[in-house]
Structure 1
């Protein structure tokens, strides 16, 4: 199956219809589009709170009306089915309503993080051929020929017409495009079908929620991110109450658990570390929690111990990525190794371990992890080179990470792909920052490396070599250039600068990033 947008963007399903139908026959797919999946939840409990944010509590019935109103404004702006609509909004009920509105129209939502900076937005809009952007930021669309409208949430809420849903979309057609910083110089986009989101990702949440009919989830990461997308799927598939904050604050997060009787907390290691370091209020009550879910390479032992003690419930660690990789481990005792995960859930994602030639390896043998299952995405968007390098003919996705499956088929994560920098839950592509920093007129070379950080995991350091006769810019000067001249998002800015006479080379004459990382760490 190959889906083509009205603007000519083609998205092939690299898994294939036969395998998708086999998963549907096994009950792993609901075979319904995301808006109609949500409508089933509305009909089941219209008065249940769907989203609670600092400004409003919105019921399922109210969220449905808001989605139809938003869709009416989008339709009046010329948005049709089989188009891409970009959404760049902070966490809040309008972001959830906007995604539902796009699904209602039979269009595809492209979500990416809110924040200052226009470079990422322009790149994503151009490459996806998006026809509309929903944002609360100033944005000029004069250089983007496909964009029909840039709309704010105020404009969407001011609409009066309630759109009638488009005919049901093919559940194997694209529904959402996730954005991730990989090793590429531009963020990569990954297309997911209705079934892969509501079915595959929904099945992962089914295991997390463990049959609870009324989960209340506090999501402390951006809904626009791959991990944060579990928030909207929680509403669409599981009828959860989604609780959101404007920004993460450990005291506010702890208070929200008690106030809203949170059953499931979603965060990353940095978030859990800061929450457990926060002094407890005399009347602190976290007894409503059923589970805490983290997403990190391996949950540090002190963080696991502190989280178990503070939250009084099992802690899960999710190994996953926007490429459709997913497996978790659940821990109820301190001191365990959190890179030892559980059995792959075949309703979500299976794994194979392969050698450098792509051949399967026996149990207990380490190698590269390949993944495929009901949540496997369709393809990369507008990047056939990525598809060629990261997918095999049967649709398996190479993760770039290394691990093994033991004799009982439990997954053990040995080493993550080091081509990205992970800062407090955000993934930064060094290649992207290097491309922009290298454009500074005073620089001959710029290379980005991670430096360890006890709180955030890693921070970004840029190592620079100045052009002959030109002084190297300071960190503040370089970052001003990156924001004002290159449109780089602030969350990607370097936090350290090391100026060198020349970059270190290895024995083969290639750049030694290991030596650069050592130099950067020594100067932290």
Structure 2
């Protein structure tokens, strides 16, 4: 390699201020090496080891790197170029790993979508990012992605894992062909985006999170440093790989960095998962509390040898102490490690050697000494230790602005660059943190964040709905479920829950955003300033 390709910064990416960039380089947090360089290096260093188990195949580091390079050249053959954005919507299959490394090798920037997203979300991601291609499965869980992609404007290529439709490109063919293009001699600029993650924002408009090469490599290294990853270890990745946790916290990337193994599997069915744990001697698992609860109560739990599991890493929503204690009792030798993280950056991990009571009560503390954390009141003043405040964050892997969202950025960041997370927390006497709720109008269903505003805006288009408020109701398994509180138009028959969810499905939104309870109100309660009081709604509904 002859160096880095210095380009004009991608318009819409908010840069780190130069004084902070100098400090992060001086401390060694940023090493000015791209994610692609880092992954290439580990594929060479650990060539003879197994990197990925997927679909019954054992993929060595040598094969992973070699096939990724072949795919990178094939992507150049069809016309993709460094700096192009592409939406990636693949499930947890080997092709995802090849594609991720291929994109990083040539500077193509993935937008990490999820298989549950539908036309409404994917078309928004394409429009906002300026994506020129979309990587999709042919079908997944009885949904035909080819038909959806055919209706999305602006795409030059639709690349299909499986059976391609008319005018589509076969991902398998790109992997197997003999490419004509050569790999470029330069790498992307380490301050370019390596990828875009998705924000669980409060509005109906998606927010793209640019994760720069420097910050995302460091993000993964620091997450891996507190999870006790050893060379012979194996991660089970069943959460959708486009999420930050299974991809880079430490995720697939962190286990590759360590020369360890990752099992990619697209299903969370207990019997399938337990068989994989036994077969591959899985040591680490990423999951959300709802999934852990389901597995712990599945009869298949006692039918497999799960003794290899050492760390269960739980994120996405607060894990109840009782669930953690049950898991550690049913899986002797395993530690449930809670973490609090955000696609925007900041990561907090409970340390594996924290006292038992600290592990039960907290979500951890930041992974980097230069993670700057503030808890503030409604007026922006720092609260005293032990008091609840909104979490503000700034640091070497926390973004400085959403992509092409200047108006939102003015609200989401303080003038001195702290990200307003919308999460309410307090500092525990141990120095760890405890989650106490949130300021943002989000519903956290099993770790998936739902914008209440997005669903409300769609429901207001229903002919029977005069006003609506979507609120979270507590749920023992998923944490929260959405309830639609509806004020009807006068003289219009009341729709059923099935009527409203059918109306929403017609807008082609992801199914996890559909309300699961419907309650009618003659009038919705209002706050002192005339807004619908969701706090009062929740209190009324919970009291019933």
TM-score for both structures, normalised by structure 2: 0.87
User: Which deviates the most, 310-319 or 73-82?
Assistant: 73-82
Aligned equivalents of 1:444, 1:327: Cα separation in 2 = 42
Equivalent residue, structure 1, for 2:523: 502
Number of residue-to-residue matches in the alignment: 516
Aligned equivalents of 2:183, 2:417: Cα separation in 1 = 32
Equivalent residue, structure 2, for 1:172: 191
Q: Structure 1 residue 369 and structure 2 residue 388: aligned? A: no
Aligned equivalents of 1:348, 1:287: Cα separation in 2 = 37
Q: CA deviation at 1:391?
A: 2.0
Matching residue within 206, 216, 238 for 1:197: 216
Matching residue within 286, 293, 318 for 1:266: 286
3-state SS, counterpart of residue 323 of structure 1: coil
Structure 1 unaligned blocks of 5 or more: none
User: Which deviates the most, 436-445 or 419-428?
Assistant: 436-445
TM-score for both structures, normalised by structure 1: 0.90
Matching residue within 325, 328, 346 for 1:325: 346
Q: CA deviation at 1:417?
A: 3.6
Q: Structure 1 residue 247 and structure 2 residue 262: aligned? A: no
Does the aligned pair in 1 maintain the 2:237–2:252 contact within 8 Å? no
Equivalent residue, structure 1, for 2:115: 114
3-state SS, counterpart of residue 366 of structure 2: coil
- Listed one character per residue, the Cα deviations across residues 317-360 of structure 1 (whole Å, up to 9, x for unaligned) are 11111221211214677665644344422257332233444444
The 1:395–1:508 alpha-carbon spacing in structure 2 relative to 1, beyond 3 Å, is closer
User: Which deviates the most, 315-324 or 440-449?
Assistant: 440-449
- Listed one character per residue, the Cα deviations across residues 251-305 of structure 1 (whole Å, up to 9, x for unaligned) are 3222222211111111111111122222366663223222111014432021011
Equivalent residue, structure 2, for 1:220: 238
Aligned equivalents of 2:150, 2:212: Cα separation in 1 = 28
Matching residue within 206, 228, 237 for 1:209: 228
Q: CA deviation at 1:217?
A: 0.6
Pairing of 1:27-426 with structure 2 (within 5 A): 27-115=28-116, 117-136=118-137, 137-138=145-146, 139-140=148-149, 144-145=153-154, 147-154=155-162, 155-159=170-174, 160-162=177-179, 164-166=182-184, 167-210=186-229, 212-230=230-248, 231-279=251-299, 284-311=304-331, 312-330=333-351, 338-346=360-368, 349-361=371-383, 363-405=385-427, 409-417=431-439, 419-426=441-448
TM-align CA RMSD:
2.6
Aligned equivalents of 1:426, 1:341: Cα separation in 2 = 18
- Listed one character per residue, the Cα deviations across residues 146-170 of structure 1 (whole Å, up to 9, x for unaligned) are x211111241220214454332111
Structure 2 unaligned blocks of 5 or more: 1-5, 138-144, 163-169
Aligned equivalents of 2:284, 2:302: Cα separation in 1 = 22
Aligned equivalents of 1:2, 1:441: Cα separation in 2 = 51
- Listed one character per residue, the Cα deviations across residues 51-89 of structure 1 (whole Å, up to 9, x for unaligned) are 222353322222223323332343233221112111011
Q: CA deviation at 1:472?
A: 2.9
Does the aligned pair in 1 maintain the 2:55–2:94 contact within 8 Å? no
Aligned equivalents of 2:318, 2:360: Cα separation in 1 = 5
Aligned equivalents of 1:339, 1:78: Cα separation in 2 = 52
Does the aligned pair in 2 maintain the 1:461–1:498 contact within 8 Å? yes
User: Which deviates the most, 187-196 or 74-83?
Assistant: 74-83
Q: CA deviation at 1:522?
A: 5.8
